[in-house]
Structure 1
């Protein structure tokens, strides 16, 4: 879509003061998908030269905000990453064409902060931490579970930039279980729940996204029984936190959240007894 209110596209390497009507431009798949009448200038990140994916010295993974979904999907995961299948599962949750895969960025998906954003699901479930940079150059780190605060809302301040997301080695080495549900066969995620087992102490983490307006994460020192899991989910997610839109009513999302969470509990409980 033509953005006829945009008067300038500026290379982000040139710096300059942030002003009203500015927006960061990554892949642009959202920005150019609908009218943006409030925008006057796009600050293009495509020439920043950030390495899309970097294995950190301790075995974790740093994902640049400009990394595309295609790059994330194709990245050769080390053999020791038991969580490796989760990357492809979340990439496929986009249900997008190859053209979108080659343009849409991980950072853009997080910054849009939509409940069905599968990169939010991936990064939150693997205990990702966002690196944010202000206009003054100051850096701060925020867990992905705290970065998204509601449907389309996050903690970014005026002119602040999401530079990267880092996934720790410990969670990448743990087993995961993935469940997704949609109203339609090829529809947007209505519920997406990911379970993860800590490879050292066996802690079970359950991360609920898509059905809720923000990521909700539950941790269990030991895998719970069905009753304990249900009580924990009911306590953690208030009735007003289930998302309501054309892709699913809150009551439907709530029902499937409980059902899918139980399926993940059973799957990962079997893993601990093998």
Structure 2
């Protein structure tokens, strides 16, 4: 096994172009497990740990567009929890559920995206937030991939063989966001299923993300359209009144119906559908209560509630 250790991003891109078979290594929380159990034996590893800017996060955007947080591919989950819970509440909540403190100090969103496992904790929150993946190659430069187009199959993504993930651009929340996960225990567990919902009052949209309940992370698009329609018809964005119970139930049913889960050692497909229905009701209640209390205002200044304690 060859071990490539570039010192700069340009060197990393050149190395990947020369060895498209090289597997990127940063946190190592996925690939090292596979190697240690002899489930995978790549011909080359591309170590990215010397590239400091992959561990940086910055607020970007200007007056012509909505602000976003550019999260480097190797920014640890612990950093997201500690420093980005205001502007990126759902991603911070999801990051807080990842494994153990040791793994949260090593793993990052770039690894989740690269592995593209449907059970990755970050995926539902990224889908709900309408994130954009920054991919780059030495030959073609930077390519911006909407998160909806990133996942192509079970543990497959749209990256070209010579591309690396440099960062993910996550819009600053303009409304409440939530994340919920079901597992067999509270820590060190792969999700049985996961769900995230985000309200976008500025555009009148609702976005969702479902994890570990389909071949890829998916959105519950019918549920989003239904709830957005109810909120517009009832003028609920302006009135901030209680949601009709029938609408909450229908939203939950549509979320459950968007999944296509299988039976496996962690749970049955029927259980996953039931759990998603429950999580959809609960998270919708949480975000709407937060919005009604006025926490839908001020998110762009990093004052969102999104607590991670």
Q: Specify the TM-score bucket, using the shorter chain as the normaliser.
A: 0.7 to 0.9
8 Å contact kept, 2:256–2:276: no
- Does residue 88 of structure 2 align to residue 66 of structure 1? no
Match of 1:256 among 253, 259, 275: 275
Q: String of CA shifts for 1:97-135, please: whole Å, max 9, x gaps.
A: x32222212201111111221122222221110011134
Say whether residues 1:43 and 2:71 are aligned partners.
no
Question: What is the aligned counterpart of 1:102 among 97, 105, 126?
Answer: 105
Deviation at 1:9, TM superposition (A): 2.8
More helix by share: 2
CA distance in 2, matches of 1:246, 1:161: 33
Identify the residue that residue 93 of structure 2 maps to in structure 1: 89
Structure 2 distance, partners of 1:8, 1:194, is: 37
- Alpha carbons of structure 1 residues 70 and 263: separation in structure 2 relative to 1, 3 Å: closer
Give the counterpart of 1:55 among 59, 73, 88. Answer: 59
Higher relative contact order (CA 8 A, sep 6+): 2
Partner of 2:83: 75
Aligned partner of 1:127 among 125, 130, 138:
130
Higher mean Cα deviation, 180-189 or 66-75? 180-189
Which residue of structure 1 lines up, in the alignment, with residue 167 of structure 2?
A: 164
2:145 to 142, 147, 152: 142
Distance in structure 2 (CA, Å) of the matches to 1:265 and 1:72: 23
**TM-score normalized by the length of structure 1:** 0.82
Shift of 1:254: 1.3
Counterparts of 2:213 and 2:28 in 1: how far apart (Å)? 25
Q: CA deviation at 1:203?
A: 2.7
In the alignment, structure 1 residue 118 sits paired with structure 2 residue 137: no
Count of residues in Structure 1 that have an aligned counterpart in Structure 2: 259
Q: Normalized against structure 2, the TM-score is what?
A: 0.74
Question: Where does structure 1 lack aligned partners over 5 or more consecutive residues?
Answer: 1-5
Structure 2, unmatched stretches of 5+, are 232-246, 294-309
CA distance in 1: counterparts of 2:84 and 2:19, whole angstroms: 40
